[in-house]
């Protein structure tokens, strides 16, 4: 067969054992050229075309030989291919200079990947990332609508076009909001996010934004409101102030008012406050029903309530034990009081359970950063050295880089174990995982 050159060639990095691709003789190092005669631009095209039950797949071998493979399969059954580039294309970096961007608030000298700002609609569909829409072309919108890719997660900040241009430092940021209209009219499910900045998009502007966003119900199924994260590395950046307790109460009053209004009409709550607002205001977390199935969990909305409910359910089934347990646990300021309550309850059924819980202050990024996911290895070392740590130190999995045993500052788990002279166990995020980790035989 005469060799054909395609503009888009996608190098296959791995083939799953027992997959259709393996049965057809596709191997790592081969290139995918087309499916059903269609050139594959990126992962959007691939996911769309590979769903068909009958496929004609064009593969190029490393020596240039091309194979046309006729494949019959179940609808939506995957071929089992993995590509050198996850998006089957270059990642699109952010064109904005947002006043609240956390990457701009990081010190120099950290690993390069921590400074990459993504704003790629394909990551919104695949991984749940939030995008500002400023990086999306009409062609991107056309393909989302054509393939009906959803949900698409939109980082709104505000519906005031002029203010959005100011906050994103992009003169096209206000115009980009019109793309939401096209997604809505095409019936694409969306989620939204508002990073709230004091003196910019709060108060009357927050009211306006929520009111405007209700026009996209029910296709815009949820919107989270989270406070801006402010590190100590803000020299030369837009002057932003942290929110106070009174500010948090005012934000929650606005959100609760709109939750009630939307619920009466649509039967769900739509607008949600990040857990930090309730902690800052000194309020109890809302009941589980208020979170509409935890649609905004990755944005820190409902994480504490879910953890509380999971712990309570697992604790109820826990059999008393007189085993002697000596452990330690470290977390950020945000979750400390809740974990302390869990440990207190554990001691009722496990009276010989001795767990030292340590609240780690974020000296690296600044004390206003209270989440455990931004705690560095060096802060753990400096604040835990010489403290009673028992037979094992438990750390939440969100402290580590996904899939690796490395903290944000490149300190590894083994280096931390060496520095603290204690075994470390990484704990998953559920209430049952908490109990299992405490009671684990070591």
CATH number for the domain that contains residue 49? 2.30.42.10
Domain with 312 in it: what CATH number? Answer: 3.40.50
Residues 368 and 271 in one domain: no
> 342 lies in a domain?
yes
Q: Domain of 351?
A: 308-439
> 98 lies in a domain?
no
pTM equals: 0.83
> 166 lies in a domain?
yes
- List the one residue out of 162, 283, 299, 317 whose CA is nearest residue 225: 299
- List the one residue out of 275, 291, 305 whose CA is nearest residue 373: 275
The predicted-structure confidence for 183-195, as pLDDT tens digits, reads as follows: 999 999 999 999 9
pLDDT at position 1: 37
Boundary residue ending a domain (298, 318, 343) = 298
In eight-state DSSP terms, residue 426 is E
> 245 lies in a domain?
yes
Residues 191 and 338 in one domain: no
For the chain, the domain total comes to 3
User: Does residue 14 surpass a pLDDT of 70?
Assistant: yes
Residues 336 and 251 in one domain: no
Residues 275 and 359 in one domain: no
* Parallel/antiparallel/unpaired status of strands 31-35 and 152-155: unpaired
Residues 56 and 111 in one domain: no
> 278 lies in a domain?
yes
In eight-state DSSP terms, residue 131 is B
For 45-73, the DSSP string reads HHHHHTTSSEEEEEEE-TTS-EEEEEEE-
The predicted-structure confidence for 176-224, as pLDDT tens digits, reads as follows: 999 999 999 999 999 999 999 999 999 999 999 999 999 999 999 999 9
Cα(320)–Cα(313) distance, rounded to whole angstroms? 15
3-class state of residue 214 by DSSP: helix
Residues 168 and 280 in one domain: yes
> 150 lies in a domain?
yes
Element (H, E) at 272: strand 271-273
Residues 363 and 265 in one domain: no
pLDDT at position 76: 83
Residues 160 and 292 in one domain: yes
User: Does residue 143 surpass a pLDDT of 90?
Assistant: no
pLDDT at position 90: 61
The predicted-structure confidence for 75-111, as pLDDT tens digits, reads as follows: 889 899 998 876 666 655 567 788 988 777 778 776 6
Give the rounded distance of the alpha carbon of 241 from its chain centre: 25
> 89 lies in a domain?
no
Structure confidence at residue 5 as a pLDDT band (50, 70, 90): very low
Residues 321 and 423 in one domain: yes
Boundary residue ending a domain (298, 326, 349) = 298
- Percent of the chain whose predicted confidence (pLDDT) is above 70: 92
Residues 146 and 245 in one domain: yes
> 395 lies in a domain?
yes
Domain with 161 in it: what CATH number? Answer: 3.80.30.10
Question: Residue 419 corresponds to which tokens in the numbers above?
Answer: 């520095």
Boundary residue ending a domain (52, 83, 114) = 83
The predicted-structure confidence for 364-411, as pLDDT tens digits, reads as follows: 999 999 999 999 999 999 999 999 999 999 999 999 987 789 999 999
Residues 46 and 20 in one domain: yes
Residues 70 and 115 in one domain: no
User: Does residue 62 surpass a pLDDT of 80?
Assistant: yes
């Amino acid at each position: 067969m005469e060799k054909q050159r395609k503009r888009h060639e996608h190098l296959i990095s791995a083939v799953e054992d027992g997959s259709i691709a393996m049965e057809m003789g596709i191997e790592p190092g081969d290139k995918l050229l087309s499916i059903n005669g269609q050139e594959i631009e990126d992962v959007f095209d691939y996911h769309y075309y590979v769903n068909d039950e009958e496929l004609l797949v064009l593969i190029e071998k490393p020596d240039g030989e091309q194979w046309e493979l006729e494949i019959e399969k179940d609808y939506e059954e995957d071929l089992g291919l993995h590509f050198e580039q996850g998006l089957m294309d270059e990642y699109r970096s952010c064109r904005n200079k947002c006043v609240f961007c956390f990457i701009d608030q990081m010190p120099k000298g950290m690993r390069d990947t921590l400074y990459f700002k993504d704003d790629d609609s394909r990551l919104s569909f695949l991984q749940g990332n939030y995008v500002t829409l400023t990086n999306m072309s009409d062609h991107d919108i056309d393909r989302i609508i054509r393939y009906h890719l959803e949900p698409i997660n939109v980082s709104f900040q505000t519906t005031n076009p002029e203010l959005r241009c100011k906050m994103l430092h992009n003169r096209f940021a206000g115009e980009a909001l019109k793309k939401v209209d096209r997604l809505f009219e095409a019936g694409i499910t969306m989620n939204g996010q508002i990073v709230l900045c004091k003196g910019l998009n709060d108060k009357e502007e927050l009211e306006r934004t929520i009111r405007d966003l209700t026009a996209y119900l029910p296709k815009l199924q949820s919107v989270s409101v989270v406070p801006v994260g402010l590190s100590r590395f803000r020299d030369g950046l837009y002057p932003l102030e942290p929110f106070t307790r009174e500010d948090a109460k005012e934000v929650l009053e606005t959100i609760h008012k709109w939750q009630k209004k939307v619920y009466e009409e649509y039967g769900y709550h739509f607008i949600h406050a990040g857990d930090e607002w309730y902690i800052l205001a000194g309020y109890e977390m809302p009941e589980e029903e208020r979170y509409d199935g935890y649609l905004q969990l990755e944005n820190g909305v409902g994480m504490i309530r879910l953890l509380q409910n999971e712990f309570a359910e697992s604790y109820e089934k826990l059999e008393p034990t007189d085993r002697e347990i000596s452990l330690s646990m470290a977390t950020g300021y945000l979750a400390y009081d809740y974990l302390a309550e869990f440990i207190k309850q554990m001691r009722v059924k496990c009276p010989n359970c001795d767990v030292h819980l340590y609240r780690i202050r974020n000296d690296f990024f600044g004390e206003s950063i209270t989440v455990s996911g931004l705690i560095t290895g060096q802060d753990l070392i400096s604040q835990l050295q010489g403290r009673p740590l028992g037979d094992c130190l438990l750390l939440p999995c969100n402290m580590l880089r996904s899939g690796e045993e490395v903290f944000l500052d490149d300190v590894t788990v083994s280096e931390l174990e060496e520095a603290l002279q204690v075994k470390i166990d990484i704990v998953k995020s559920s209430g049952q995982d908490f109990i299992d980790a405490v009671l684990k035989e070591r």
